[in-house]
Structure 1
Amino acid sequence: MMYPPLYILRHGQTEWNAQLRIQGSLDSPLSDLGRAQAKQQHEILRSRDLSGYRAFCSPQGRAFHTASIALDGLCPRIDTDPRLVEIGVGAWEGLRRDQLGTDPHMDETEEGALDLYERAPGGEGFDALRNRCTAFLRDLTGPAVLVTHGITSRMLRLIVLDMETHEIADLPGGQGVVFHLSDGLQTKL
C-alpha cells in the first residue's frame, strides 16, 4: 500500500530516558536536552513546505510537549490520536532496564533493548502495535507530520517501508531527528 508523504518525529529526551527507565504508558517530563531536541526538530521542519500537512500526535505528555515546540507556528493545529501512544510494556512500566532481571550484559543501546518491548510481561507486543499503527496509517487522507515515541515511530516507518516486523532493529532511532517518508523511501533529516 502507498501512503502519503510523512514526517515522523520521536519525542525529545525525557528525565526517564536519561535514567534508562521504561515509560510505556507512563510519562516523564522532557529534560533540558529533550526541549533542545524539539527545538532542533523545529529548525529542521521550518525549512520544509508543510502546506497541506496535518499534524497528529500521541496524547502522552512527552510527545505533546515535543509537538508544541517542534511544530510551533508551522501547523495550524495538532490533533492527538491514541493509536500513536508508545508500546505498552505491562509489568515493566516505570522500571529501569537494570531492574528487569534480564541479562546483566545486555546491550544498553536503544537498538540492543528493542527485544525488551516484545518480551515485557503483560505488554502489548509488536504484533498488536503493528495492527494499531497500520489502522492509523490507513485512515490518513493526506500528508502528515506525526509526533510519537521511539518504538511506535519505528513501527510506523516499518509499515510505510513495507518491511517485516522482525526488521525493526534495522531502522535508525534517535531523538531530535526528523524522518521524511515519501514514495516508499525514508530520509533522515
Structure 2
Amino acid sequence: MRAGPTIYFIRHGETDWNAQSRYQGQADIPMNETGRAQARRNGEALRGLLPGIAQCRYVASPLLRARETMEIVRGVMGLDPGAYSIDERLKELHYGHWQGIFAADLPDVDAAGIAARSQDTFRWRPTGGESYEDLMARAVGWLADVADDTVVAGHGGISRVLRGHLYGVDPSAVPELEVPQDKVLILRRDGLEWL
C-alpha cells in the first residue's frame, strides 16, 4: 500500500537574480530564457506520465516565476495552462534585509549576519525575514492539507524543507540540499526520485 500522496515538485526556472547569485526570497522576479527552457524540459518529463498525471491537483506559489513555470509545464503537457490553484504557503523563504543583495556583497553589508547564520543556518532569521525553521512550519502546514497526488511549482527553500520533514534530514543539512531547476523531484513518504 502506498504511503500517502505523491508530490511532483518543480522548482521554478532560472531568473536573472539566480544567475547573478543575488538573494531573491519573496522578491517577485520573472524567469529568464534559460528558466523558460528549464520549465519546458520539466513539462516534457511530466508529459511522459500522461494520461494519469493529468488527474493530479496542480498548485503553485503565487510568485511570478512559479506561476510562469506552472503555465509552461501545463502547456507543454497539452493541459490548460491556467487550470491550477495558488497557495500562499508555497512562497519562497523570505530573506528579509538580504533580499536583492548579491552574495558577493554580503560581507560588506552584513558580516554579523553571515557569522550568525554560519552558527545555525536552519534557525537563523534575517531582519524582517524567515528562518528555514519558520519555512518548514509553513510547508508542513501545507503538506497536512495534501490528500491527492499533486504537481507543485515552487521554490528551492520549499523543496528543501519538505524533504527535511518527510525524510528526517538533520536540520543542519536541510539548507544545503540540492535544488536543481531542470529536474522534477518526485516525493513519496517512502522515498524520492528525480525525473
Q: Which residue of 1 aligns with 2:183?
A: 177
Cα 1:116–1:12 change in 2 (3 A) is: farther
Contact 2:122 2:172 in 1 (8 A): no
Task: Compute the RMSD of aligned alpha carbons.
Answer: 2.4
Larger mean CA deviation between 2-11 and 153-162 belongs to: 153-162
Contact 2:6 2:186 in 1 (8 A): yes
- Deviations along 1:23-50, whole A, 9 cap, x unmatched? 1111222111000000000110000130
- Deviations along 1:130-185, whole A, 9 cap, x unmatched? 11100000001211011101111111222222333223156321111101122421
Contact 1:55 1:75 in 2 (8 A): no
Greater helix proportion? 2
Contact 1:25 1:85 in 2 (8 A): yes
Contact 2:39 2:73 in 1 (8 A): yes
TM-score when scaled to structure 1? 0.85
Determine if the alignment matches structure 1 residue 93 to structure 2 residue 92.
Answer: no
Determine if the alignment matches structure 1 residue 166 to structure 2 residue 172.
Answer: yes
Q: Which residue of 2 aligns with 1:7?
A: 8
Distance 2:80 2:54 in 1: 8
Q: Which residue of 1 aligns with 2:63?
A: 60
Larger Rg: 2
Distance 1:162 1:52 in 2: 29
Distance 2:168 2:126 in 1: 25
Contact 1:58 1:64 in 2 (8 A): yes
Contact 2:122 2:171 in 1 (8 A): no
Other structure's SS at 1:71 match: helix
Distance 2:122 2:178 in 1: 17
Contact 2:92 2:154 in 1 (8 A): yes
Contact 1:179 1:187 in 2 (8 A): yes
* Structure 1 unaligned regions, length at least 5: 107-111
Q: Which residue of 2 aligns with 1:109?
A: none
Other structure's SS at 1:50 match: helix
Distance 2:87 2:189 in 1: 24
Amino acid at match of 2:24: Q
Would you say how many aligned residue pairs link Structure 1 and Structure 2?
Answer: 180
Contact 1:41 1:178 in 2 (8 A): yes
* Structure 2 unaligned regions, length at least 5: none
Instruction: Find runs of 4+ consecutive structure 1 residues off by over 6 angstroms.
Output: none
Contact 1:161 1:186 in 2 (8 A): no
Distance 1:119 1:44 in 2: 36
- Deviations along 1:90-124, whole A, 9 cap, x unmatched? 10111111121267xx9xxxxx9x94994533320
For residues 131-150 of structure 1, the aligned pairs below 5 Å read 131-150=137-156
For residues 98-117 of structure 1, the aligned pairs below 5 Å read 98-101=104-107, 115=121
TM-score when scaled to structure 2? 0.83
Distance 1:155 1:184 in 2: 16
Determine if the alignment matches structure 1 residue 128 to structure 2 residue 134.
Answer: yes
Amino acid at match of 1:79: S
Distance 1:24 1:117 in 2: 16
